[in-house]
A and B are shown apart, each in its own frame.
Chain A
């Protein structure tokens, strides 16, 4: 990915996007598979599997207990059906809950020991070489000079974290960035205090299942007053067949700290569906700020709706301290079914929550996504900007809740919710819930639905752009407010993704 100047990114589409579209030629770019020997836990889920996962991660007894309690709870729960998505019943006993490359059983000590297939996988995914070395778990690679801007990466391959880069440098700043399994072993006091404190074990069907069987994920702790010296990111890759990925992410920004975190996801093309049920918890203490950006590009299935990832994710932030701030930005282009509502609990006085979302559903994809802004503290503010794009036969639903509690005096919310339709076989739905329980709050909701119209496309084509360029241009214009909220590197990637995921949606 080459770097363009900021104005270009902010203005909308550019040649880069168009080139990317051409290059990819309408195919899902990350659909290949790494052939690698894996360790699987037996299929299905039961207390023994839960114990096995806990044991694989070398977890202390309290963690195993926590998981088992979650599992007992999950067994009594039923799968939610209120979302506007339709998929065949999932057989939860026909899924592998743990899959790890055999070569990761022991941490490699040098480059020679690292499984070349893992190295190759990350190279193909476009993760820079320097980072690649560290990703594959080579000790000492941190000392080599990095090229360009630093982004620390935690790479999760199926059920395990393969490696985390720049840990040493982050440590100097006091920042802890590691896999969640490492955090459970090395920082139990933090994990005990915060895990499940934002998304309770009992929260919902998928979150409870995750609590029982989560295998890995990322952990971040930023100490008081520290501005994290680089962007942190996690790259999730599902590779093994019939395997669910249940990652768990926990980010804690202590008083007055700041962190920006990015998350990317891809998976091979397969004609069976795969389950991904993640839980992400963010905690922002007094005056702390967290930016969390996602580019979700799981395999969406083919144009007939065969295969693809079921993406059932619970993401929530607790703005626990006064004046804390959380910003969610998501670009959701992948997955066969998406069920995801990154939310903010605005507990601290004057805390702020923001949610910027682009959700694209093409072919047979279904997306039911949105946010919850729960205002508890005084003078809390939230802002929601949602851009839903539907093409092919896809269904795209925005579902959101804005809640002003009695004590949330002078709470403010602004919601803008726009839908764009391409073609005449897709659907866009908006389901906003608004609850106001005090007199001083103000809630604003604006919604629009529009079509990419033929006149716009003809206008672009008369000026020399082909149909795909024209659609990409118009759609990127529609998404501009959200693209601007992304970090630079992601904005570029997101623009390209927008174009790629709409390939073949016209004509």
Chain B
């Protein structure tokens, strides 16, 4: 369970407050969606939770299963089960996707005091996961995200998610840059990973992704705060009326 309380964040470089008191609880096994207009602080929330440099937490906390993640290094958060599917997955030339995955899996296992996976076991594991996500074996051999299409990059994120088996998955605008077919494929991957012990926070600008990944709870974020919370119908309301009505209503 992820509990965010009164989270205030400003940019490190300039005196600009981005998050102005976010309160949010994602229960274990639930899928929450955050929607909101551009510049409302959605992506900042995902970066702050995962530990990216460049932000100052001025107040509040974010607790994952009893541990304050804001105190941890990014890799410690990862080992604690926090996973961020990037809006723009990063290219790493010369590093095979397989090597990257194996290094990541073993780094996390080691951090948790578990035995590292042998080369043979890992190979079996990764092939199995790739197959279930309909990912070509060829994609495993290519360097991380280099020359990948938009759809391939996002599916690669989902593959990483499947391999690392996190407790808390944050999807940052996973639908951006995808056509309908690619989005469906990615959504199928996410749905396959839904389970009782795993929570999701799906950040999106558009409702269309939520047609495929059905959320339990929808939040609307504006100007650094959660301004409205509701069921899946809230997403449909945004789709029909845009953000203006909701914002006017809560103002």
Which residues of A are interface residues toward B (Cβ below 8 A)?
A: 4-5, 8, 11-15, 18, 454-456, 458-467, 469, 473-474, 476-481
Whether B98 contacts A11 by the Cβ 8 Å rule is yes
Please measure, in the bound complex, the distance between the C-alpha atom of A461 and the C-alpha atom of B89, giving whole angstroms. Answer: 13
Please measure, in the bound complex, the distance between the C-alpha atom of A331 and the C-alpha atom of B209, giving whole angstroms. Answer: 49
Whether A477 contacts B95 by the Cβ 8 Å rule is yes
Whether A474 contacts B103 by the Cβ 8 Å rule is no
Please measure, in the bound complex, the distance between the C-alpha atom of A315 and the C-alpha atom of B106, giving whole angstroms. Answer: 42
When distances are taken between beta carbons in the complex, the residues of chain A under 8 Å from B108 are 463-464
Q: Mark B203-244, 1 if CB is under 8 A from A, else 0.
A: 000000000000000000000000000000000000000000
Please measure, in the bound complex, the distance between the C-alpha atom of A476 and the C-alpha atom of B99, giving whole angstroms. Answer: 11
Q: Mark B77-117, 1 if CB is under 8 A from A, else 0.
A: 11100011010011111111011101111111001000010
Q: Does B75 contact A (CB under 8 A)?
A: yes
Q: Which residue of A lies closest to B112 (CB)?
A: A464
Minimum CB–CB distance from B70 to chain A (whole Å) comes to 15
When distances are taken between beta carbons in the complex, the residues of chain B under 8 Å from A477 are 92-95, 143
When distances are taken between beta carbons in the complex, the residues of chain B under 8 Å from A465 are 75, 103-104, 107
Interface CB pairs A-B, < 8 A, 15: A11-B99, A12-B99, A15-B102, A461-B74, A463-B108, A464-B78, A464-B105, A464-B107, A464-B111, A465-B104, A467-B75, A473-B103, A474-B95, A476-B94, A477-B95
When distances are taken between beta carbons in the complex, the residues of chain B under 8 Å from A456 are 90-92
Q: Which residue of A lies closest to B52 (CB)?
A: A458
Whether B103 contacts A15 by the Cβ 8 Å rule is yes
Whether B94 contacts A478 by the Cβ 8 Å rule is yes
Please measure, in the bound complex, the distance between the C-alpha atom of A400 and the C-alpha atom of B50, giving whole angstroms. Answer: 44
Compute the total of residue contacts between A and B using a CB distance below 8 Å.
101
Minimum CB–CB distance from A166 to chain B (whole Å) comes to 32
Please measure, in the bound complex, the distance between the C-alpha atom of A319 and the C-alpha atom of B84, giving whole angstroms. Answer: 54
Q: Does B164 contact A (CB under 8 A)?
A: yes
Contact A458:B53 (CB < 8 A) given known A11-B96, A464-B79, A478-B93: yes
Please measure, in the bound complex, the distance between the C-alpha atom of A40 and the C-alpha atom of B108, giving whole angstroms. Answer: 54
Q: Which residue of B lies closest to A17 (CB)?
A: B103
Q: Does B151 contact A (CB under 8 A)?
A: no
A4-B119, A464-B78, A479-B94 given. 8 additional CB < 8 A pairs?
Answer: A5-B119, A12-B100, A460-B92, A461-B75, A463-B160, A464-B105, A465-B103, A473-B99
Please measure, in the bound complex, the distance between the C-alpha atom of A462 and the C-alpha atom of B164, giving whole angstroms. Answer: 11
Please measure, in the bound complex, the distance between the C-alpha atom of A11 and the C-alpha atom of B116, giving whole angstroms. Answer: 19
Whether B103 contacts A13 by the Cβ 8 Å rule is yes
Our pick among A12, A461, A462 for the contact of B95 (Cβ within 8 Å) is: A12
Whether A458 contacts B100 by the Cβ 8 Å rule is no
Which residues of B are interface residues toward A (Cβ below 8 A)?
A: 50-53, 73-75, 77-79, 83-84, 86, 89-96, 98-100, 102-108, 111, 116, 119, 143, 160, 164
Please measure, in the bound complex, the distance between the C-alpha atom of A146 and the C-alpha atom of B210, giving whole angstroms. Answer: 65
Minimum CB–CB distance from B74 to chain A (whole Å) comes to 4
When distances are taken between beta carbons in the complex, the residues of chain B under 8 Å from A474 are 92, 95
Minimum CB–CB distance from A201 to chain B (whole Å) comes to 42
Minimum CB–CB distance from A506 to chain B (whole Å) comes to 12
Count chain B CB atoms within 10 A of each CB in A455, A458, A462 and give the residue with the most: A462
Please measure, in the bound complex, the distance between the C-alpha atom of A465 and the C-alpha atom of B53, giving whole angstroms. Answer: 16
Minimum CB–CB distance from B130 to chain A (whole Å) comes to 16
Contact A464:B98 (CB < 8 A) given known A14-B103, A455-B90, A477-B143: no
Minimum CB–CB distance from B51 to chain A (whole Å) comes to 7
Contact A12:B102 (CB < 8 A) given known A462-B50, A477-B143: no
Our pick among B50, B84, B89, B107 for the contact of A466 (Cβ within 8 Å) is: B107
Whether B102 contacts A14 by the Cβ 8 Å rule is yes
Please measure, in the bound complex, the distance between the C-alpha atom of A263 and the C-alpha atom of B25, giving whole angstroms. Answer: 60
Minimum CB–CB distance from A5 to chain B (whole Å) comes to 7
Whether A466 contacts B73 by the Cβ 8 Å rule is yes
By Cβ-Cβ distance, the 8 closest A-B pairs, closest first, are A477-B94, A477-B95, A11-B96, A480-B94, A463-B104, A464-B108, A11-B99, A459-B90
Q: Which residue of B lies closest to A454 (CB)?
A: B53
When distances are taken between beta carbons in the complex, the residues of chain A under 8 Å from B91 are 456
When distances are taken between beta carbons in the complex, the residues of chain B under 8 Å from A461 are 51, 73-75, 78
When distances are taken between beta carbons in the complex, the residues of chain A under 8 Å from B102 are 14-15
Our pick among A8, A14, A459, A479 for the contact of B86 (Cβ within 8 Å) is: A459
Whether A12 contacts B89 by the Cβ 8 Å rule is no
Whether A464 contacts B164 by the Cβ 8 Å rule is yes
Please measure, in the bound complex, the distance between the C-alpha atom of A479 and the C-alpha atom of B164, giving whole angstroms. Answer: 27
Please measure, in the bound complex, the distance between the C-alpha atom of A458 and the C-alpha atom of B89, giving whole angstroms. Answer: 11
Minimum CB–CB distance from A507 to chain B (whole Å) comes to 11
Whether B103 contacts A18 by the Cβ 8 Å rule is yes
Q: Which residue of B lies closest to A478 (CB)?
A: B94
When distances are taken between beta carbons in the complex, the residues of chain A under 8 Å from B51 are 461-462
When distances are taken between beta carbons in the complex, the residues of chain B under 8 Å from A15 are 102-103, 106, 116
Please measure, in the bound complex, the distance between the C-alpha atom of A11 and the C-alpha atom of B83, giving whole angstroms. Answer: 24
Whether B99 contacts A13 by the Cβ 8 Å rule is yes
Please measure, in the bound complex, the distance between the C-alpha atom of A461 and the C-alpha atom of B78, giving whole angstroms. Answer: 8
Please measure, in the bound complex, the distance between the C-alpha atom of A5 and the C-alpha atom of B98, giving whole angstroms. Answer: 14
Contact A459:B92 (CB < 8 A) given known A464-B104, A464-B107: yes
Q: Which residue of A lies closest to B84 (CB)?
A: A462
When distances are taken between beta carbons in the complex, the residues of chain B under 8 Å from A469 are 103, 107
When distances are taken between beta carbons in the complex, the residues of chain A under 8 Å from B164 are 463-464
Minimum CB–CB distance from B11 to chain A (whole Å) comes to 15
Q: Which residue of A lies closest to B97 (CB)?
A: A11
Whether A14 contacts B53 by the Cβ 8 Å rule is no
Count chain A CB atoms within 10 A of each CB in B51, B95, B111, B160 and give the residue with the most: B95
When distances are taken between beta carbons in the complex, the residues of chain A under 8 Å from B94 are 12, 476-481
Q: Which residue of B lies closest to A479 (CB)?
A: B94
When distances are taken between beta carbons in the complex, the residues of chain A under 8 Å from B53 are 454, 458
When distances are taken between beta carbons in the complex, the residues of chain B under 8 Å from A455 are 90
